[in-house]
Amino acid sequence: MDTGNAAWMLTSAALVFLMTPGVAFFYGGMVRAKAVLNMLMLSAAAISVTAIIWTFWGWSIAYAGKDIGGIFGDPATGFLLKDSMVAKDGVFTAANTSGDYPGSIDVAFQATFAMITVALITGAIAERVKYSTWMLFVALWITFDYAPMAHMVWNGGLLSPTGAISQALGAAAHDFAGGTVVHINAATAALVTVLIIGKRKGFGTQPIRPHNVPFVMLGAFLLWFGWFGFNAGSAFGANGTAGYAWVSTTAAAAAAMLAWGFTEKVRSGHYTAVGAASGMVAGLVAITPAADVVSPLWAMVIGAIAGVVTCLACGLKFKFGYDDSLDVVGVHGVGGLIGTVLIGFFGVGTGLFTGGSWRQLVVQILVALVAILYSAVVTSIIVFALEKTMGWRVTEAQEVSGIDMADQGERAYDFAGTASSVLKEVK
């Protein structure tokens, strides 16, 4: 065992864990004041429910179980982590310590990816969904969507470098840290969900603005910081690839932030803080699948393309009439597609612009399309079933008055009475 690698992977797991609180603040600042607590709670549920499901059978379906049809692993092999943990001398430790780092660390690292992926969906369904329905959705979605998707892409399944699609075309599909598994998957699920549950009251007819832009910026910076564990940690060791992934991640995020800002300036005359935060995230999303295989120049190009295109894509919801509240589709879906597909152009030695052939491009496109199809079908079944049983939405009156009071029974800024009493005492 390499203790340096072990330390880095534990650190990376902690960094990726921090990304879900980052999402909570990023989204929490973007909603109206009457829904901020609910947004934070949806992310908290994503962490907690995922942790339980991952411990019981999620890890086994994604990584530990024997492959079933290239789609998922059996849930029994790693049930309750029995493949990864062992009691020795009165304490529990990793069952496998022969690699670069203990297998138990991999369980932790991959769990944080599952948490952040399902948390991303909350941005699309903001201000209108029941907390109880969301918790059950997380359990079902991690089981039937995320874990199989991780298996298909990262554990030798259908969409992996050794999977059927790659073998048929003679080119290895590449997703370094989650362009398909995380971003395309979450965005597809988000779009399907909002199409089924419907729009917020007032969407498209009245302004719905962020209530706390500093929260948005705080969340974006936490995400950028956590992304170093997300991308550099996906090198699975303290090595040169990890160092380069840090560099390419920063270059892409920086280019995207500037490109989004310039696009906003041309369109509206302003460089907004919300735009800067969204641009950062768009660049981080786009470089995720490609962080290890594109040069610094191409990393910046990917970031710049993502910054412009995702900025424009966020307006599609008004044109087509779907209420993706906080632009999960526009940022994560479009950004994830950009990064995944552009590997076919810019990937070192395999891309069309770097001495490769059309095969890599076709593989990347096909893998993305299959991921979209799988996520759309599975999510549709889950969301529709929950809609017909528990129901997704709070009542219209509760939505208008504020979902924080309806679902959490409290307000984020409930200090009006306190302020009044203080003023009376001063007088």
- Map residue 402 onto helix, strand or coil: coil
- Give the list of residues 6+ apart from residue 9 with CB closer than 8 angstroms, or none: 101, 105, 106, 109, 233, 236, 237
DSSP state of 80: G
Q: Which residue has the tokens 């270059």?
A: 251
For the segment 132-147, the average pLDDT, to the nearest whole number, is 99
Residue 423 has pLDDT above 50, yes or no: no
Which are the contacts of 56, defined by CB distance < 8 A and separation ≥ 6? Answer: 79, 80
CATH class of 3-408: mainly alpha
Torsion over CA: 201, 207, 212, 216 (sign) = positive
Over residues 201-220, the mean pLDDT reads 95
What whole-number percentage of the chain has pLDDT above 90?
A: 94
- Give residue 324's pLDDT: 97
Place of tokens 């995320």: 146
Domain boundaries, the chain: 3-408
Average pLDDT along the chain: 96
**For the segment 271-312, what is each residue's pLDDT rounded down to a tens digit?**
999 999 999 999 999 999 999 999 999 999 999 999 999 999
Q: Give helix then strand counts, H and E, for the chain.
A: 19, 4
Q: pTM of the prediction? A: 0.96
Handedness of CA 158, 160, 163, 167 (dihedral sign): positive
Confidence of residue 204 (pLDDT cuts 50, 70, 90): confident
Query: Do 283 and 305 touch, CB atoms closer than 8 A?
Result: no
Assess whether pLDDT exceeds 80 at residue 420: no
pLDDT surpasses 60 at 24: yes
- Contact of 81 with 107, CB cutoff 8 Å: yes
Confidence band of 418 (pLDDT split at 50, 70, 90)? low
87 CB-side CA count, 13 A: 1
Mean pLDDT, to the nearest integer, of 401-409?
96
Q: Whole-angstrom Cα distance, residue 50 to residue 117?
A: 10
Q: Cα torsion at 92, 94, 98, 99 (round to 10°)?
A: -150
Question: Which CA distances in Å does 52 have to 48, 281, 294, 297?
Answer: 7, 28, 36, 42
The enclosing H or E element of 94 equals strand 91-94
Query: Does residue 415 have a pLDDT over 80?
Result: no
Q: Does residue 422 register a pLDDT over 60?
A: no
**pLDDT > 90? residue 419:** no
pLDDT score recorded for residue 13: 99
Token couple for 94: 């990793």
Whether the predicted pLDDT of 50 surpasses 50: yes
